Structure 1
């Protein structure tokens, strides 16, 4: 969902277009791409001026996701991509 919000809020895409782009990236990106993306989000989070407890919680979440991605094998990744991508859809606002 982070990718969706990047496209929607940061890039100004329509929600449907942002979701399609996020799903495409999710299914076509490698584990290394996903880890690099999460690292960049964590670094951006660490640079924010927010209370330390908020910053620490978000950084821990990013680190946890990175760790899970690094431990996944290729078949698990393909199945996870299909399951994850199929669960996100636009229902309307």
Structure 2
């Protein structure tokens, strides 16, 4: 299928070149980066730490959000979609939580 959006084409090509399949059937794909932007991995831990501090504030204020967030993160761990970082030389992906009232 030919898409006109160059970023969609880039993402599709990136997936085709970098994906592999684990023995459990799940996919592993390298993170895509825009070709014109060189990622800075050195400061990723500090950026992720600041984002986490902001998220912690929100989790303390909203019990429902906190409970759903913890359930979601535990599910990700259980499904091996993520793992605890145990060594140096890693890239930390900053994240934030989104709570929607609708199921989609």
Q: TM-score category by the smaller chain?
A: 0.3 to 0.5
- TM-score for the superposition, normalised by structure 2: 0.31
Structure-1-length-normalised TM-score: 0.34
Is the helix fraction higher in 1 or 2?
1
Structure with the greater alpha carbon radius of gyration: 2
